[in-house]
Amino acid sequence: MRNLAIGVMSGTSLDGADGILADLSSSPPRSVAASFVPYSPGLRDRLLGLSAPGSDSLDASGACSIELADIYADVVARLLASAGIPASAVEVIGCHGQTVRHRPDLGYTIQLNDAARLAERTGIEVVADFRRRDMAAGGQGAPLVPVFHDAVFRHGSHHRLIVNIGGISNITSLRPGHEISGFDCGPGNVLMDAWVKRHLGEDFDEDGRWASQGQVNPGLLDRLMQEPYLANRPPKSTGRELFNEAWLLDRLVGHCEPADVQATLLEYTAASIVDAARRFCATPDEIYLCGGGARNRRLAARIGEMASPCPVRLTDDLGVPTGHVEAMAFAWLAARCVRREALDLASITGAAHPCILGAIYPA
């Protein structure tokens, strides 16, 4: 049973912690159990505050780290109970932590977590702090999941794009006969979530229903598409430091109905993904979506329409459910770390040489 690993992921959307108990002995890895623990509104608000430049508090970050570790431990307990497997059967937990600041331009990144507390509570070895080793080698520190995509989703003759739509969207290009490439292409759910929270008090626009009630505003869409980051060549990564509510408000000119803004933000998210694919990924044979945004039916449909005639599907069709991919990736990365396997992310993050990613916290 030593091929069992747990991956815990909490992404930019700040909705909660996803966990996957993965059997890494097969290809693609098999999900043995899945679990999700939502964040309380209070924790989410505090994390949002820490994600906004200029509002840091060491006390708040320390308290959040402890609370996050307890949530991660609860995810692990639920996974083990669901699968009927003892902690002793699991080789390692890979826990990314909660990103509250990502500044590759300044050479640092911050993920809140208390990995030692997580190891203490679970009795399982923990690997955390994946990004900083890559940054120390001159890389962007993100995205890291493309190397997992390459390991489990590459096809011998089909050029596949794997598009992960979290708070931020990233693309992995798996072109036969070429090295992997991957990069953050722009906003995923982050702007849509902020806008629906501002106007409807909801955490997200389920299936894009509110966006479907509005009309795309061409002027606003044009202003959004002029963001210089979109044209920057990879390697590149981004986050809430750039794409946030203040960024959006700066681009609103005159009156625009809130539902029309939401429709435009959905269109912008889809357009920025498809535009990045065309700019930087040659011509794919097929596109597969994963992450929370893949479950937004309206968004997935617009990506499909814009990418036509290239078929757009979900990673479920490749054997890994859309909501399991990121957490499974960190289970996989953790297993690579404890086995001291260096990963070459030069074509993804720009790191100068292969690195063993992560810091190990023994049980």
Q: Quick one: pLDDT at residue 13?
A: 85
Q: Is residue 197 part of a domain?
A: yes
Helical packing angle, 325-338 and 146-153, nearest 10°:
90
Residue 172, in any domain of the structure = yes
In this structure, what DSSP letter does residue 228 have? Answer: G
Domains: count for the chain? 2
Q: Is 117 part of any domain?
A: yes
Edge-first strand listing for the sheet containing 181-187 = 181-187, 168-174, 160-165, 286-290, 312-314
8 A C-beta contact, residue 210 and residue 262? yes
List the CATH number of the domain containing 240.
Answer: 3.30.420.40
Asked, for residue 324, whether it belongs to a domain, the answer is no
* Cβ count within 10 A of residue 237: 25
Phi, psi of 16 (to 5 degrees): 160, -165
Its domain, for residue 102, covers 4-139+335-361
Q: What is the per-residue pLDDT for 56?
A: 58
- Asked if residue 50 and residue 10 are part of one domain, the reply reads yes
SS3 286: strand
Based on the fold, state whether residues 152 and 292 are members of the same structural domain.
yes
Residue 54 in domain: yes
Residues 160 and 249 in one domain: yes
The predicted-structure confidence for 66-98, as pLDDT tens digits, reads as follows: 999 999 999 999 999 999 999 999 999 999 999
Where are the alpha helices (H) located in the chain, listed in sequence order? Answer: 41-51, 58-83, 115-122, 131-136, 146-153, 190-200, 209-212, 218-225, 245-249, 258-280, 297-307, 325-338
**pLDDT at residue 227 in the model:** 98
Query: Are residues 312 and 212 part of one domain?
Result: yes
What pLDDT, on the 0 to 100 scale, is given for residue 254? 87
Predicted confidence at residue 215, as pLDDT, reads 98
Q: Using one digit for the tens of pLDDT, what is the confidence trace for 12-51? A: 888 999 999 999 999 899 999 999 999 999 999 988 888 7
Using 70 as the pLDDT threshold, list the residues of the chain that sit under it: 1, 53-56
- With CA atoms as reference, report the closest residue to 6 among 45, 33, 40, 41: 33
Q: How far apart are the first and last CA of the chain?
A: 18
Q: Are residues 226 and 259 in the same domain?
A: yes
Rg (CA), the chain: 19
330 in any annotated domain:
no
Same domain, yes or no, for 165 and 313? yes
**Res 1: pLDDT:** 53
Same domain, 305 and 339: no
pLDDT of residue 55: 54
- The answer to whether residues 178 and 313 touch, using CB atoms and an 8 Å cutoff, is no
